[in-house]
Amino acid sequence: MSDLESSTTIRDYIYTVLDANKNWAQRLNQTFPQYFPDPEDKQAPKILWIGCSDSRVQESDATTALPGNVFVHRNIANQFHLHDDSALSVFAYAVKVLGTRHVVVVGHEHCGGAITALKEARRPPSADQLERHHTLYDSLYHLVETFHINEIHDKDSNDPNDAITRWLTPLVHRIRKLELPAEEGTAVRIVIEENVKLQIEKIVQLGDWVRRNVREPDGRPATVWVHGWVYDFATGFIRDLNVTRELGGGSE
């Protein structure tokens, strides 16, 4: 196949997707018309899913949810930063406006972001650290990226590598405080769980805001539950970490 033919095939893939969408929508409208929500009905999702952008994780499939039941915020390594307006606005809209009462932070097995953070945390510091480059394999996307890890970056930088480095910094700091086994698989599994717990700790800091701002329709203070899960996309099973916290409703 020539380079031109290959380029055309890649470019035309999007039309394959659009054709597939047309067939899918027609089939569902004929066989299960209730699948698509009535635009006149207000959405009332039961769950806010804070998960990873990994393309192998599908929250609607994992929870067998129909459209309208899961409100979603996804990013690299399922982070929840308290300075991130995107995450904060999703949280506020879900619990205050839509009435969502369950927030789930969902990590997943084989998380490339967690693996990247672990590799950085394990790399011993050195005098020439700011000059060094090293290659990390990102299992999320099967891409090889070269990061300037531990480099001091301009916070206004638009370089995607800088953004990823900043994004994972809190997780790297958390990992450096852990006593992890040398065995890679076990260490990664622990990091994935600790990552979920770290994000829950951040969300819990919004407890005062929930108490002041979130009410049930009858005016009573609302209770919001924050859960921690790990999803295994190789098997489809969700593992509950049993770290649920309760916000509002008179609690912390």
Give the closest residue to 195 by CA, choosing from 230, 246, 247, 232: 230
Residue 134 has pLDDT above 60, yes or no: no
List, as residue ranges, the binding site for Zn(2+).
52, 54, 108, 111
Dist CA 66 CA 80 (whole Å): 25
Residue with tokens 């206004």: 156
* Integer CA distances (angstroms), 115 to 49, 62, 140, 186, in order: 22, 23, 10, 11
List, as residue ranges, the binding site.
52, 54, 108, 111
Give the CA angle between residues 225, 226, 229 to the nearest 5°.
Answer: 130
User: Which of 7-11, 68-72, 144-148 ranks highest by mean pLDDT?
Assistant: 68-72
**1-5, 61-65, 95-99, 234-238: the lowest-pLDDT one:** 1-5
Task: Write out pLDDT tens, residues 151-185.
Answer: 444 555 677 778 888 999 999 999 999 999 999 99
Residue 100 has pLDDT above 70, yes or no: yes
Give the pLDDT confidence score for residue 14 in this predicted structure.
94
